[in-house]
Amino acid sequence: MQSRWHWIVARLGRRLWVKVSLYVVLAIAAALCTPLVAPYLPPGLGTYLGADSLDDVLKILASSMLVVATFSISGMLAAFGSIVSTASPRAARLLIEDSKAQNALGTFVGSFLFGLVAIMALSADYYSNDGKLLLFAITIVVVVLIVGTLLNWIDLLSRLGQIRTAIDFVADRAIETARMRRDDPFLGGQPFAGEVMLDYPIRAKRIGYVQHIDMAALQAVAERLGGEMQVAVLPGALVDPTQPLAWLVRAPSEEEAEHVRAAFGIDRQRSFDQDPRFGLIVLSEIGCKALSPGINDPGTAIAVIGALMRALGVWTERGEEAEPRCPRVQVPSISAEDLFDDAFLGLGTYGAAHLAVGIRLQKALVSLARTGDAGFVRAAQHQSALALKRARQALTIEEDIARLESAAKQVATGRAA
C-alpha cells in the first residue's frame, strides 16, 4: 500500500527523462568533482600521464557517444512505433518505462556529456596533474560501462519491437500487479460487500480514471470522523462529478472532503500500478488486433491466451494475505467475472471464426476451471458458453463446430480430455 507521495515518486522514477537526467547529473558531477578527490591521491602520480593522451581519449568518447545516443533514440522510437501499430499503445507505454532501455540511453547520453565537460575543463586548466590521472581512471571505468551497456543494448534492441516482447512485458506487469492484489485484496482495508450503509457521499470534481488510492489518507479521515468509510470505486474505474468516490459516516467539513478527494489519484488514462484488470485488458487488445483482417495472425492470439492463463493463474495461488492496515476503510473486491470478461470476451468475439483460437480458448478455460475456485468455475463456464455461441454463428463446417462443442463440454464438467 503506497501513499500518494510514494506513488508520485514511483511514477516519476519510471519516466524516461528522469532516468536520463540522473545519468547526466552523475556524469557532470564525475567530471567536475575530480579536483576535490585528487588531493587525497599519493603525490606525484599525475606526472606519468600526458595531458594530450587524455584529451584525445575524451574527444573520441564524446564524438562516438553522440552518434550512439542518436542511433539509440532512433532505434527506440522505431521499436515503440512498431509496438503501437502491431500490438497496443498501452503496451508501448511499458516498453518506454523499461529500466534496461532507460539505463542504456542514460549511459550513452551521460557518457557524451562526461566527455564534453571534461574536454572543456581540460582546456581551462581545471585539473592538476593528479586530477588528470583520476579523470583518466574514471574515463576507463566509463568506457568499460559503455561496452557492457552497448552489448546489452544490442540484444535488447533486437527484441524491443517484436510482438512477443510486448506480450511478455504486459504479462509480467499483469502478473506483478495481480500478485500484489492477491496478497492485499482490499488495499489494506476491510472487505466491502457492496451494500452502501453510509449516508454522506464524496464525489469527484472531474472526469478521469482512478489510478491510485491512498488508503492511509482515507484511514486518517475516517478516524477523525469517528466511524467507517466505504470506498465506492477501485483503481481503473472511470469517474465523473455525479459518481461517489466514497461514502462517509457523517457529513464532512470541506477540508475533510478535499482530503478524501486528494486520496484518489485521477488522471486521463488508466495505470497498471493498482489496477490488475488493466493488464488483462491490454493483453486482450493485443490478441484482438492480431485477429483483425489487416493482420490476421492467429498465432499471436494463441500466445496471448497463454499469457492470460499465467496472469489469471496467480489469483488462485496461495499467498500471504496482509493484515488490514486501514480497518476503518471498506474496499470492494474484484470479481472473477470481471477478470474473465477483461481477458476473454474480446478474444471470444474476434476469434469466433478461427478454429485454432477457439480450441485454445476453450482449453485455457477448462484449465482455469479446474483450479477449484468457485468464482473461476462460474466465470470460465460463462465465457466458454459465449465463445461457443459466437463460433456456431461464424463457423460453417459441422466437424469444426463439433470439436469446439467437445472442448466446451470439458469446461462445463471441469474435466480435461
Where are the chain's structural domains?
A: 4-161, 276-321+331-413
Beta strand 190-192 with 329-332 is parallel
Average pLDDT over residues 352-370: 94
Sheet containing strand 244-248, strands side by side: 190-192, 329-332, 229-231, 244-248, 200-203
Give the predicted TM-score (pTM) of the model. Answer: 0.86
End-to-end, the C-alpha distance of the chain in Å comes to: 42
Condensed to tens digits (0 to 9), the pLDDT of residues 7-46 reads 777 777 788 888 889 999 999 998 888 878 767 666 655 5
Provide the pLDDT for residue 56.
84
Condensed to tens digits (0 to 9), the pLDDT of residues 150-202 reads 998 888 888 877 899 999 999 999 999 999 999 888 999 999 866 777 788 99
Provide the pLDDT for residue 306.
96
DSSP for 43-97 reads TTGGGGS-HHHHHHHHHHHHHHHHHHHHHHHHHHHHHHHHHHHHT-HHHHHHHHT
pLDDT for residue 378 is more than 80? yes
Average pLDDT over residues 385-408: 93
Q: How far apart are CA 304 and CA 196, in angstroms?
A: 38
Sheet containing strand 238-239, strands side by side: 238-239, 208-213, 264-267
Provide the pLDDT for residue 136.
85
Give the pLDDT band of residue 55 (cuts 50, 70, 90).
confident
- The angle formed by the CA atoms of residues 33, 37 and 38, to the nearest 5 degrees, is 110
pLDDT for residue 417 is more than 60? no
pLDDT exceeding 70 applies to what percent of the chain?
A: 94
Condensed to tens digits (0 to 9), the pLDDT of residues 206-262 reads 999 999 999 999 999 999 988 889 999 999 999 999 999 999 988 888 999 999 999
Provide the pLDDT for residue 31.
87
Condensed to tens digits (0 to 9), the pLDDT of residues 99-154 reads 888 899 999 999 999 999 999 998 888 887 778 888 888 899 999 999 999 998 88
- Residue 231 — φ and ψ, nearest 5°? -80, 130
290, 384, 411 from 379: Cα distances, Å: 24, 9, 10
Average pLDDT over residues 316-323: 72
Provide the pLDDT for residue 416.
45
Is residue 145 within 8 A of residue 115, CB to CB? The reply is no
pLDDT for residue 365 is more than 90? yes
